[in-house]
Amino acid sequence: MEFILQRINTAETALKQSQEASNDDTKSSAGDKFETTREMVSQDIARTKNLLFDGQQNLQLLTSLESLPATGDTVRNGSVVYTNKGIFYISISAGQIKVDDQLVFAVSFASPIGKLMIGKQIGESFSFNQNEYTIQKID
């Protein structure tokens, strides 16, 4: 949640700054330069809005996962999966995060490795990037 809230905050700040820059920009005698700058700011605003939207969607997903009942028998969205090669949180693609001094890989259920884990149970294995993973525990 911290990761996503930070991304949303950063996107909101960047969007505000871009919009202020756009509003402060005044047309000069160098018309082409003004139009090019205005277009670049416009594209920057659009990219930032997309990042903000993505962050808000991820926040909604994480919030919905909090209300799911814990299940320890099958990997599903919201599961924490302990394997012989690492710990994975099936949620959003956030990369490596540190939780209680342990490295956890936050991966989306739609990611290549997430797709391989969904539906698996303790003791089952899967192969990813020429590595063999065995599921040891599911929270």
- For 15-53, how does the pLDDT look when each residue is reduced to its tens digit (9 = 90+)? 888 777 777 655 554 555 556 777 777 888 888 888 887
> Looking at the predicted structure, is the pLDDT value of residue 9 above 80?
yes
The answer on 87 and 62 residing in a single domain is no
Q: Write out the DSSP string of 79-115.
A: -EEEETTEEEEEES--EEEEETTEEEEEEETTSHHHH
Residue 114 lies in a domain: yes
User: pTM score > 0.75 for this model?
Assistant: no
The answer on 134 and 89 residing in a single domain is yes
Query: For residue 83, what pLDDT band results from cuts at 50, 70 and 90?
Result: very high
- The confidence score (pLDDT) of residue 32 equals 57
Residue 54 lies in a domain: yes
